[in-house]
Amino acid sequence: MLLIVGLGNPGKSYAGNRHNIGFMAVEAIAAACAAAPFRRKFQGELTEARIGADRALLLKPETFMNESGRSVAEAARFHKIPTADIVVFHDELDLAPGKLRVKRGGGDAGHNGLRSITAHMGGDYRRVRLGIGHPGDKALVHGYVLSDFAKAEKPWVDALCDAVAKNVAALAKGDDSLFQTRIHAAMQAGGF
């Protein structure tokens, strides 16, 4: 069983933030898989989904970004899910808006959600990096990630989350390359 985690901050005031694109992607997966409504569990919101023939737990930690690892570790321990079977969707400043990359392990690149998960679980989990672009100045990063996507950005955000949801079966099977290729093709076809 996979544990698919979307990173973000809880509450309506953060719902449209760039930092919450991980939540948005996991919500799109849940909708595409006709998962049951999310319910509060493991200091987060959790649901179960069928992705192809595989079972997956979908988790949105409600601990705020900086403490995401507490929620992830609690769910993983309870369900005996090894770190290698955890997939984390998160915002990525170093990728252009609408781009996506998958990698296993590595550093946290200053991302507090990843830092927290690594501190609780170790770093051998897959990361799905969802590009949000960079504001151009390091001093502007905090305000940028905690601001909402602009109306003009909504089409590519929706297209990216939709492509993720439609192609998540490749990711669930461990075919990260095919997953990335399909997302790239879907975004190009949509003009993004």
- What is the set of active-site residues? 19
Give me the helix-helix angle, 68-79 and 112-121, nearest 10°.
Answer: 40
Contact 52, 169 (CB under 8 A): yes
Nearest to 126 by CA among 168, 78, 67, 64: 168
Q: Which single residue is written with the structure tokens 């319910």?
A: 39
Contact 62, 6 (CB under 8 A): no
Question: Buried b / exposed e across 140-172, counting CB within 10 Å, b at 16+?
Answer: eeeebbeeebeeebeebbebbbbbbbebbbbbb
Contact 43, 63 (CB under 8 A): yes
Write the CB contacts of 131 (distance below 8 Å, at least 6 apart in sequence): 92, 94, 95, 96, 97, 98, 99, 100, 101
